[in-house]
A and B are shown apart, each in its own frame.
Chain A
Amino acid sequence: MRPCLVGIGGAGGNILKQFLQSQDVNLIGHQFGEHLAYGEVKGLWLESATQDTQRQDYYGSLAQGQYPPYLICHGNVGDSSDTRKYVSETYGFDLKAPGFDRRAEYLKGIFEVFEFDSKLKDICLKEFKSDENPLSGYMWRVGVRPFTIISIGKSSKRTGDRADSVLESGSGNISSISSLSRGLIKVPKIRGGNGSSSSKLCDSILFVASLGGGTGTGFINPITSYVRTEEPIFPIFALGILTEKGTDKRQAKEGQRDLGAVIAMYDLLTKKSGKGIDGLILVDNEILLQRFEGNYSSMDACIYSALKPLLDLRNYPGDQLQDDSPAIRRVFWEVDESNDNDKEKNGAQERSDGAKENLLPPILVPCYHTQPDYAGDEPELVEGALGKPGSIFPLGEDGRLFPCDPTKADRALVFTRGFFSTKGIKDAVQKRTGLPNNKIMVYRKLGDSKTEDMLILLRNPYGGAPGEHERQGTLEWRLYDIISESIKYIENNEKNILGFQSYKEPTKDKLRAYFYGENCLRDELYNCLDRLEKGERPVFLRPLSIFEDGGLVPVASASCKQETDVMGSAGLRDLVKEELKEILRSEDCKRRIKEILQS
């Protein structure tokens, strides 16, 4: 697979640096041809804090055509933008906020108002023509999309049209936006937008972000939603790094960061197949912290090394296509054959009325081990990655990068670099995890001659037995810990959560309803704890939103009403009809139809 790596926020940018290290000769900063990173991946850093981009010299501005690039998320929103003014005056959110102070709900709120406030949509469309959301639309269209094969696909013309319309935008900031966009829109053409070098474009997206911050956690879903409007099955993965315990460098308390992480994981893992990401790879910084004694560069380097077997392009002869991104995506979503005794697989649940709920994205835990090629064979590598049988605590002594019990995984994707037989790998993994052969996927790369390594992605390694949340070293235990901390933070910090800076009263009401209302986040987190105690999965089930009803009038529990997932085909038909009627009635739709007719 050749993903486009999108590092979001400070931590995302630091980790991405490792992945984008040049594999080429350094000619005093000059690069003939394309920048070469390991696995020929491409990448960019999305950041909201302009000052952070100025304090470093690794990334260059995408606006100036530099590579590796950074992109300021709100780069196309002018200081006097009408949209910005409306959002600020109505909700108290600042679209050009230089960071989000570890508040996942802030960014979640910003994106939701664009989704649900029809008046804002109109203002935004008027100002930005092509985008209903000036942040995510901009990041996708100008930042990520040009690096992916989608840029040469069926929808490239549509995007070209969008880009043109941005250039023709009649906003008050036309000069800055136009000049910026012109420079940026060149990028896809330079990097193969003409289709001549499509093989070098990325076949998937891998977001890299810290869970627990503001920027990193908040941008993944909105960008994914944009991608999904063009390509519902384009592979999108996310690598989320859970922050360490205790107070961090920025004095953000554990509870606050845990709440950010829980909101982020919650939102990522409750978007159904085709609407959100295809898998969340979890890394626990607490484990890396213990292993590297707080050396953050080494911790970042470890994450990079662990993913190298996944990115390596030197497949065994005849195996070239087995690990392309669509194939990996397929395995991530793969569901077992129906079995009456086992009605719960990979987030697919059968309800009491017999209707099936859509699949939810899986959690993947990376386990990595490397050793000199003379040090042993497959069993040693597997043991190095997954730990010795029965030993799951203390953490950091084996290759698991997130607490889990490997025997609970429902699939294992094994990526190796070295010379191994498939059978040897399968036997070793089967012995350690107890998984049947058909649930162990092996992807062999030729690797180098000095060392051999193995990355095992364990899919959903949790659930199945009650009380596991009390057993140290399990995934249930770690999730239980951060969810409990989040609940504590919600309960003890109402003023801190709702009284943030310039929130307007309607926003406070919505946030109050989201955090403290009936059937809202706090209640749902208690339900999550129940599920963890009982050993049920998935942990996160019910999508929650802050502004779902769209109005400015405060509504308590209604804003968190459960999505109607379970319905027969007749119900679905009615729902689609209603939705279509709603769309056709909207001003935006009428205006668009008018434009089409005029053109």
Chain B
Amino acid sequence: MNLLGYEISETYLLVGLVILLLLGRIFHLMYLRMIESIVRKTADSDFDFKDLMKSLHISQGSNFNLIMIFSWSLFFVAVAFLYFLTPDIFPQWNYFKFPQVASWEGGFAVMGMAVLIPGLFVSLFVPRAYSYYLIHRILKEKVILIPALLLASISCSINLGTIYPATDPFLWNLGYVMVFAALALMIAPIFVGFLEEWRK
């Protein structure tokens, strides 16, 4: 697959997404440990890590939480559509392995729901991590873009599924870039928080 002028395998690109996710997790844990270390140096008395988590907790707002839950749910759907909607990337596991669903007009919706339900379970827990960060309002306003990016990516994937067996590398690339950008935005509050602590 040609992405931004380079020949890169889609599988590697998927690994890139996974690495980004893992980095988010690692940065989050490191952020908490760095805070713990600083607070321990200055605290008057000993405390549990749980106490620190409680102290760090801050409400981000219902709109923010709603967008993030929605975004994480959509993220899993967007990735599944990008990689598993056509047999181009994983011929063994894809939507067309279920001909009854694939030939039905509501088939895309069924696949979306099939991913959304387990995805939603994960999405309910992941956004909790944001409650430990002071997220700047400018960054908060940017999260509105995430659902738009993910929905656009899903649209690209649906288009690819509809025109299959024809292909359109540009649409796939566009879909991937949007998923990547969305994930980067979702991890940005954690990354920024980590950088600010690490800078000290």
Contacts and interface: CB of A to CB of B under 8 A. Distances in A.
B144 A27 contact: yes
Nearest to A444: B42
A32 B45 contact: no
Given A317-B55, A449-B197, A24 B62 contact: yes
Contact of B134 (A27, A34, A40, A448): A448
A4 to B, nearest CB: 17
Contacts of A419: 38-39, 41-42
A24 B144 contact: no
A32 B51 contact: no
Interface in B31-83: 35, 38-39, 41-45, 47-48, 51-52, 54-64, 66-67
Contacts of B141: 25-26
A26 B141 CA distance: 7
A24 B39 contact: no
B7 interface: no
Interface stretch (A12-20, A308-316, A346-354, A514-522): A308-316
- Most chain A CB within 10 A, of B35, B58, B140, is at B58
A23 B58 CA distance: 11
B62 A32 contact: yes
A514 B66 CA distance: 59
B196 interface: yes
A30 B48 CA distance: 39
Contacts of A30: 63
B200 A449 contact: yes
A373 B39 CA distance: 15
A24 B55 contact: no
Given A317-B51, A318-B47, A320-B55, A449 B62 contact: no
Nearest to A421: B42
A420 B44 CA distance: 10
A24 B54 contact: no
A446 B63 contact: no
A24 B56 contact: no
A592 interface: no
Contacts of A319: 55
Nearest to B58: A314
A22 to B, nearest CB: 7
Contacts of B58: 313-314
A18 to B, nearest CB: 13
A291 B192 CA distance: 32
Contact of A373 (B48, B51, B200): B200
Nearest to A30: B63
Q: Provide the main secondary structure of the chain A interface.
A: loop
B143 interface: yes
A317 B54 contact: yes
B161 interface: no
Interface in A28-52: 30-34, 36, 40
Given A25-B67, A34-B62, A316-B39, A450 B44 contact: no
Interface in B117-154: 134, 137, 140-141, 143-144
- Most chain B CB within 10 A, of A22, A27, A317, is at A317
Interface residues of B, number: 36
Interface in B1-49: 35, 38-39, 41-45, 47-48
Nearest to A23: B61
Contacts of B197: 449
B175 interface: no
Contacts of B193: 449
B71 to A, nearest CB: 11
A422 interface: yes
A40 B39 contact: no
B15 to A, nearest CB: 31
- Most chain A CB within 10 A, of B55, B137, B193, is at B55
Contacts of A314: 55-58
Nearest to A34: B62
A37 B58 CA distance: 11
B47 A317 contact: yes
Contacts of A31: 62-63
Contacts of B196: 448-450
A317 B52 contact: yes
Given A32-B63, A446-B39, A449-B197, A24 B140 contact: yes
Contacts of A23: 59-61, 137, 140
Interface string A414-453: 0000011110000000000000000000001011111000
A36 B59 contact: yes
Nearest to A449: B196
A46 B141 CA distance: 30
Contacts of B48: 317
Given A25-B140, A421-B42, A449-B197, A316 B55 contact: yes
Nearest to B38: A419
A460 to B, nearest CB: 27
A31 B66 CA distance: 11
Contacts of B57: 314
Interface of A: 22-27, 30-34, 36, 40, 313-320, 373, 419-422, 444, 446-450
Given A24-B140, A36-B59, 17 more contacts: A24-B61, A25-B144, A33-B61, A40-B59, A314-B58, A316-B39, A317-B39, A317-B51, A318-B43, A320-B55, A422-B44, A446-B55, A449-B134, A449-B193, A449-B197, A449-B199, A449-B200
Interface of B: 35, 38-39, 41-45, 47-48, 51-52, 54-64, 66-67, 134, 137, 140-141, 143-144, 193, 196-197, 199-200
25 contacts: A23-B59, A23-B137, A24-B63, A25-B63, A25-B67, A25-B141, A26-B63, A27-B63, A30-B63, A33-B62, A36-B61, A36-B62, A40-B59, A313-B58, A316-B39, A316-B43, A317-B48, A317-B54, A318-B45, A319-B55, A419-B41, A422-B44, A447-B134, A449-B196, A449-B197
5 nearest interchain CB pairs? A24-B61, A33-B62, A449-B196, A317-B47, A317-B51
